């Protein structure tokens, strides 16, 4: 008899999807031969498609924030035909927990969330006072619920894979040279301005980089929402190419895969670069560098670790944003230069 499949329901954030990847490695290590499908929003789907453990990515047709009970019931009927033995519900919302329950999937694993008792029948718990590191948070779902879970160092690293041919095609489409250094910056952050290193600092870093490497190609990556902050960088460093909102996520993954190094705020693209094992300089202000660090072979997490940090707020509650303002370009250049000369 053919082994039943596993369904993983994706988080809505790119970085969370990347940090959930070790869960897939642990599920594959069980050796049951079960194919792993992922139900994901369209804007996150390219990340899952870059994971070798995934058999099929099913794009969720639902509108953001809407319950759409009738649509979920119809969609669950389709999933029922695929023969799932268990479902891992990574978002903590009621509406995503409904889907595997409606689909009749016997084993439904996830964390306690909004009114999910009965919908989730293998319930895990996190401590709000001492939240689990993100990789541990998701990887813990592969085992029975327990109070303590392995730290990230004891778990598989998040990993993504982009075929060399795909990378070369995208770099060619964007007229990026293979014979010159390629450095990617990610100046945006979906969560809010408190996570963003100031645009003038990115521009100052770009100017220092170009003074040292005259042929360096510096590109800015992000979504259309990041275009304005990226335009600020270009205004002070006109040789930098702003690709925010120009590339699809799939193209951005290929660019990062071909980059010599990445400088990024704590954002989804930071974790993409880490999972592609690119050299990474990660910039932390309002968030905790120990909660979701990069895992690439060559990575540096920079944080001033001020008394007011990590505040975990969208905007600086004190109005000074010193956690990022006081982290100057020279500090970041020191870490980046070491990666480029290795």
The string of pLDDT tens digits covering residues 256-311 is 999 999 999 999 999 999 999 999 999 999 889 898 899 999 999 999 999 998 98
The predicted pLDDT at position 50 comes to: 98
CA quadruple 204, 207, 212, 215: dihedral sign = positive
Q: Residue 189 pLDDT more than 80?
A: no
What percent of the chain stands above pLDDT 70?
Answer: 97
The predicted pLDDT at position 71 comes to: 86
Name the band, by pLDDT with cuts 50, 70 and 90, for residue 193.
confident
Kind of pairing between the strands at 280-283 and 261-265: parallel
The predicted pLDDT at position 39 comes to: 97
The predicted pLDDT at position 65 comes to: 65
Q: Residue 38 pLDDT more than 80?
A: yes
* Same fold across 5-154 and 164-340: yes
Q: What is the mean pLDDT of the chain?
A: 93
Q: What is the mean pLDDT of residues 42-47?
A: 96
The predicted pLDDT at position 66 comes to: 66
Q: Residue 327 pLDDT more than 50?
A: yes
The predicted pLDDT at position 341 comes to: 80
The predicted pLDDT at position 148 comes to: 92
Beta-bridge mates of residue 183: 218, 261
What percent of the chain stands above pLDDT 90?
Answer: 80
Q: Residue 2 pLDDT more than 70?
A: no
Rounded Cα distance between 54 and 8, Å, is 10
Instruction: Please state the domain extents for the chain.
Output: 5-154, 164-340
Q: Domain 5-154: give its CATH superfamily.
A: Glycogen Phosphorylase B; (3.40.50.2000)
- Topology at the third CATH level for domain 164-340: Rossmann fold (3.40.50)
The predicted pLDDT at position 319 comes to: 87
The predicted pLDDT at position 122 comes to: 96
Name the band, by pLDDT with cuts 50, 70 and 90, for residue 194.
confident
Q: Which among 61-65, 90-94, 163-167, 306-310 has the top mean pLDDT?
A: 163-167
Instruction: Report whether the peptide linkage leading into residue 310 is cis, meaning its omega lies within 30 degrees of zero.
Output: yes
List the end-to-end C-alpha distance of the chain, in Å, as a whole number.
Answer: 52
Nearest to 185 by CA among 246, 245, 270, 249: 270
Is residue 53 within 8 Å of residue 23, measured between CB atoms?
A: no
Q: Tell which phi-psi region holds residue 175, choosing left (phi > 0), alpha (psi between -120 and 50) or beta.
A: left
Q: What is the mean pLDDT of residues 50-59?
A: 97
Nearest to 164 by CA among 276, 272, 46, 17: 276
Q: Residue 1 pLDDT more than 70?
A: no
Name the band, by pLDDT with cuts 50, 70 and 90, for residue 117.
confident
């Amino acid at each position: 008899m053919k082994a039943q499949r596993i369904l993983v329901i994706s988080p809505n954030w790119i970085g969370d999807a990347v940090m959930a990847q070790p869960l897939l490695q642990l599920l594959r290590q069980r050796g049951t031969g079960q194919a792993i499908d992922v139900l994901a929003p369209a804007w996150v789907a390219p990340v899952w498609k870059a994971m070798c453990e995934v058999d099929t990515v099913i794009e969720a047709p639902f509108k953001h924030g809407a319950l759409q009970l009738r649509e979920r019931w119809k969609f669950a009927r389709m999933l029922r035909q695929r023969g799932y033995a268990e479902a891992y519900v990574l978002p903590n919302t009621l509406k995503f927990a409904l889907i595997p329950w409606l689909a009749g999937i016997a084993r439904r694993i996830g964390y306690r969330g909004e009114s999910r008792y009965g919908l989730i029948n293998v319930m895990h718990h996190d401590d709000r006072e001492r939240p689990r590191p993100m990789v541990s948070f998701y990887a813990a779902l592969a085992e029975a619920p327990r109070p303590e879970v392995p730290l990230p160092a004891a778990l598989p690293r998040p990993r993504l894979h982009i075929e060399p041919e795909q990378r070369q095609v995208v770099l060619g489409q964007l007229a990026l040279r293979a014979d010159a250094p390629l450095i990617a910056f990610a100046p945006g952050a979906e969560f809010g301005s408190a996570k963003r290193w100031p645009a003038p600092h990115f521009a100052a870093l770009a100017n220092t980089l170009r003074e040292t490497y005259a042929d360096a190609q510096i590109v800015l990556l992000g979504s259309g929402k990041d275009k304005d902050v990226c335009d600020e960088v270009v205004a002070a460093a006109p040789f930098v190419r702003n690709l925010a909102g120009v590339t699809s996520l799939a193209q951005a993954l290929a660019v990062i895969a071909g980059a010599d190094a990445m400088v990024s705020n704590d954002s989804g693209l930071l974790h993409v670069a880490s999972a592609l094992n690119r050299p990474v300089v990660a910039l932390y202000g309002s968030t905790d560098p120990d909660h979701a660090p990069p895992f690439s072979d060559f990575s540096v997490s920079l944080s001033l670790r001020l008394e007011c940090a990590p505040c975990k707020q969208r905007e600086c509650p004190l109005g000074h944003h010193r956690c990022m303002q006081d982290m100057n370009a020279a500090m970041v250049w020191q870490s980046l230069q070491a990666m480029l000369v290795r």
